[in-house]
Amino acid sequence: MRRSWLILAIVAYLGILAAVIHAQPVQTPRTLTAEIRTALEQVYTRVLPATVRIETVPEGTGSGFFISAEGLVMTAYHVIEDTRSFRVVNSSNVSFPAELVGYDEFRDIAILRARVGAPVPFLQLETTQGPRIGEPLLAVGNSRGDFMAPRYGLVNTVERDIFPFFNSIAVSTTIPLAPGDSGGPVINQAGRAVAVVVAIGQPDGVFESYLSPLLGLGDVIGQLRAGRKRDVPYIGVQLFQIDDDTATTLRIPKEGVLIRGLLRGGAAERAGLRGFVIRRENGQEVYDFDVILEADGRTFNDVTQLQRYIRSKEVGDHVTLTVRRGNQTFRIELQLTANPTRRG
DSSP string, 161-175: --TTTSSSPEEEE--
Q: What is the mean pLDDT of residues 49-73?
A: 96
CA distances from 11 to 14, 84, 171, 172 (A): 6, 23, 19, 17
**Sequence letter at residue 295:** A
DSSP state of 189: T
Model confidence band, residue 26 (pLDDT cutoffs 50, 70, 90): very low
Q: Averaged over 323-337, what is the pLDDT? A: 95
pTM of the model: 0.84
pLDDT tens readout for residues 232-260: 999 999 999 999 999 999 999 999 999 99
Q: Which residues contact 325 (CB under 8 A, 6 or more apart)?
A: 274, 289, 290, 291
pLDDT band at 29 (very low <50, low <70, confident <90, very high): low
- 127-161 per-position pLDDT tens digit: 999 999 999 999 999 999 899 999 999 999 999 88
103-136 pLDDT per residue, tens: 999 999 999 999 999 999 999 999 999 999 999 9
- Give the domains, in start order, of the chain with CATH numbers: 11-230 (2.40.10.120), 237-335 (2.30.42.10)
Q: What does 25-71 look like in DSSP terms, one character per residue?
A: PPP-PPP--HHHHHHHHHHHHHHGGGEEEEEEETTEEEEEEE-STT-
Q: For the segment 261-320, what is each residue's pLDDT rounded down to a tens digit?
A: 999 989 999 999 999 999 888 878 889 999 999 999 999 999 999 999 999 899 999 999
The pLDDT of residue 161 is 87
Q: What is the spatial distance between Cα 170 and Cα 159, in angstroms, rounded to a whole number?
A: 6
CA 28 vs CA 31, 57, 183, 212: distances in Å: 9, 41, 26, 21
CA distances from 71 to 81, 126, 262 (A): 20, 19, 42
Q: What is the largest CA-CA distance in the chain?
A: 78
